[in-house]
Amino acid sequence: MASKILIVSVIALIVIVGAGIYFSGFLFPQQTATVRVGHLTGDLHHLALFVARNQGYFEQSGIKIELKEYANGPLLMQDFLAGELDFAYVGAPPAISARAKGMSDPNAHLPVVIASVNLEGSAIVVDGSIESPEDLSGKIIGTPGTGTIQDILLSMYIRDHNLTLTKSPMSISYLPIEFSKGTINGFIGWEPAPSIAVVQSGAHVLLTSKDLFENHQCCVLVVSNKFLASHQDLVSKFAAAHKLANNYIINNPAYAKQLAMNITGHSSQLIDLALSHIVYTSTPDPVSMKTFLHAMIDLNVVTTLTHEQVDDFINAFIDTRFI
């Protein structure tokens, strides 16, 4: 009897100790998967990515991120289509046009939206010669590149208000420089570029993207359709970390501001202005994405779809299972 109790006790002890070791991760540490994540140069819209990294949300989910930086959304999406990225923080229009173009290519890695990154977040800043939107006619206005969300927003505004101006596409980092030199009369860009021109070069905000298109979807978190098909668990973890980070920004604005200052090196005043134009949310807005796509078809930015296909396209483009 005593020996039986002893054997049972030993087995129970082994099970308890074994379980303890297993669940503490000492014997079998959690597997870490590396994912490639694209984002844009100095884009405050993508603050959630840096919050998730700094707060260790990715690490806690067993994800190691390899960051790749791009000058604008269309450039990022070119790499994305080629399979060089698994996830990307990018403007909705470049992701839409990349998917629309790549749909007929079975080898292309098509973007699927799994979360929103932010709404709005851009602004048109101008010099003293422009006081009202009507004054934009005949002026040179910079954009961060053809096909970017800002370029589409400006084209939509020009079309709707029957304006004639010269668009001057260039890298986002050059926009405030060209403005300060007087080469352009103003520009539309993602934050903090417009705020840089306001604080450093005396520009004034003519229109925010809220004025241009209220509550419009700006950046989205996309995953490659091929990656999604084979790594649904990782996609789920990544989306959860992203949502956690976006919530952290909303609930801890002081932390968000300090982080924004750290990663951009800009002043408190400049970051305050920039952040006031951005709405952080993880819930995608299909309605504004449909409006964008209709406009992109009208503007010949998307040539592979018709207006009748817009609803089906956007429904297949967004996957809200993970948010």
Partner 1 sequence: MKHADRAKSLLLGLFSLIVFLFLWQLLAVWMNSPFLPGPYSVLTAFFRISTAGDIDGYTLSSHAMTSIYRVLLGFLFAGMTAIPLGIFMGLKPSVNSVSSPIIEPIRFIPPIAWIPLAIILLGGITRYVFLIWIGAFFPILLNTIAGVKRTSAVLVDMAKTFGADSRTITFKIVFPSALPEVMSGLRVGLGVGWMCIVAAEMIGGDPVGLGRLIIKYANLYQMDVVILGMVTIGIIGLILNYAILSTERRLFKWRVEVRA
State the minimum distance, in angstroms, from the CB of residue 170 to partner 1: 3
Measured CA to CA in angstroms, residue 108 lies from 75, 139, 167, 225, 309 at distances of: 15, 39, 31, 9, 20
Binding mask 140-159 for partner 1 (x = CB under 8 A): --x--xxxx-----------
Query: Among residues 37 and 100, whose Cβ is nearest to partner 1?
Result: 100
State the minimum distance, in angstroms, from the CB of residue 168 to partner 1: 5
Query: Among residues 9 and 166, whose Cβ is nearest to partner 1?
Result: 166
CB neighbours of residue 131 within 10 Å: 10
Member of 72, 195, 217, 288 binding partner 1 (CB under 8 A): 72
Name which of residues 17 to 56 contact partner 1 (CB under 8 A).
none
Query: For partner 1, which stretch binds (CB under 8 A), given 104-112, 241-249, 250-258, 284-292?
Result: 104-112
∠ CA 203-209-212, nearest 5°, is 105
Query: Among residues 34 and 300, whose Cβ is nearest to partner 1?
Result: 300
Member of 301, 305, 318, 323 binding partner 1 (CB under 8 A): 301
Is position 62 an interface residue for partner 1 (rule: CB under 8 A)? no
Member of 3, 31, 34, 107 binding partner 1 (CB under 8 A): 107
Is position 170 an interface residue for partner 1 (rule: CB under 8 A)? yes
Identify each DSSP E strand in the chain by its residue range.
Answer: 33-40, 63-70, 87-91, 111-116, 118-120, 122-126, 140-143, 166-169, 186-190, 204-208, 219-224, 278-280
* One-letter amino acid for residue 152 of the chain: I
Is position 186 an interface residue for partner 1 (rule: CB under 8 A)? no
